[in-house]
Structure 1
Amino acid sequence: MNPPTSIGIIGKPHQELTRTTVLDLMRFLEARGIEYHLDRDTAETCEVDQWIAKNQLVKQVDLLISLGGDGTVLGVARLLVGQSTPILAVNLGRLGFLTEVKVDQIFEVLEEVLAGHYRVDHRMMLCAHVHRRGECFGSHTVLNDIVINKGALARIIELELMVNEQFVTQYRSDGLIVSTPTGSTAYNLAANGPIIHPSLTNMIITPICPHMLTNRSIVIPADGVHLSINVKSHSSDVMLTLDGQVGVGLQTDDIIHISKSDSVINMITHPNKNYYAILKEKMKWAEI
């Protein structure tokens, strides 16, 4: 792989560990003559004057370092829709399936990356279009999942699922998750959905607390497949949540169209770990 010559750094803001890690990174890169840029929030956290707006930063670098947790990576991924810039995700928090590199491993791994000794995983994304009364009023691209759920006071919600215009089922549940393989270890896993290897190209459909115990997760191919989810509930307290970070209020008869996105996210993998080793570590399987 080609070694990067310009690096963007985006960290979880207002965290002391972000500040100290970024300052160490800056010294590390300066000593090697590598150009780097910070976004505004990261620069303010580190009390650095120079910064570039995030939407411009991602266009000016050939590697992005994400410092934080999985949420930080998901925010960076939205900025990279349609671009091929790889992400090196560093974990500054606790459990994180997207952040493979621990903070005390960052310089060891970065040395390998700067030497061109790294591998990139291509992670599929999903695209959601929300239609109301026949017109699209929102389009979103996600790396992890698309979730329809009820608010705190809403009753069970009713959702109708179609796959390639063929009726599948009607759910009466607390909600529904449509996940990528990357997102299978997020909300999907908490809702008893299956773990899918991130190299696969699938969609996982998992109901949240379904009224019928026979409503189980379904794993379907993503290539050439189009989902339509029709909101049948008469509640005004139904939300569409995208990667757990963007929310859209839904109404009765709204239709959410979901398909595989043309965009992928390129994730730099830990040079000394494979996916199963990471699963074992994150799931604490070695302690059982």
Structure 2
Amino acid sequence: MQNNSLGKQIIRLRQRQQLSQSQLAERLFVSRQAISKWENRDAEPDLDKLVQLSQIFNVDLDYLVLNQPMRQTPILALTKISKSYRQPILKDVTFSLYNHERVTLLGSNGAGKTTLVNLIAGRIKPDAGGIERHYQPKLECSLMPQKNVLIDPMRVQEMMELEISIAKLNTIDIERLLKSANLWEQRRQVVDSLSGGQQRKLMFLLTMIKSAKLFIFDEPTVGMDLETIDHFWQRLDQISGTTLVITHDFNQIDHYFDRVLLLKGGVIAADEQVATIHAHNQDLDTWYRGHNQVQEG
């Protein structure tokens, strides 16, 4: 029996991610004609391909196949979080993250975004409030911090091997990973000899080694060249877990993220679905600037 909604779902989700039929076919290792048949309901993908589609589109199988609402399973809940140093940084931060969500965290410089992600990652503790995690912080959360955490005297390949050992992984193809980031020729160089952009690429690879439930990226593309930035967003688009990203690349926010959080005045001043913003004929840049003006008025 043909599933009348599946073809439309594939078209809708493919267009949302700005993927052509050929690009989707390449990811699935099928022909473009196969994608066309699925979308026209002349054929249906097998179970393995359905699973792959759900991962590429970052949605539940029930949502993909039956168009049922996404299951809102929380993986993280923050309640009335506060943190001060010489002065209050976070005052009353409350929000949750859910499975498969793609969330961007916006805010001006000094708003406390990096402090917040360090709290979520368990690198620092809040002064007050609660953090409920539905994952193992050390094994199932991976953070790419704004400042690289690398061991300067180590060689590039040694750094990769160390991270693989810490994560207790056995089947990682280091050569393939380094070649994907154009770092294979630098594998024997010490980390300190790499350019700033190369160090950023290495930090990204180390972050992505884990099969984590929650990935956090703090201004990940700073120092990257344009080609590497494109590769970063393409790679991030393949993550099936939850992602929380600090970025002001509004072009990418518009088509990559599901939800946007605005941190202002020590609290989450806005929490909005990207689709809702678009439904009001706004892009994220316009929404962000306009919302800040409203908040400051």
Same fold (TM over 0.5): no
TM-score range, shorter chain: under 0.3
Normalized against structure 2, the TM-score is what?
0.26
Q: Is the helix fraction higher in 1 or 2?
A: 2
Specify which structure has the higher proportion of strand.
Answer: 1
TM-score for both structures, normalised by structure 1: 0.27
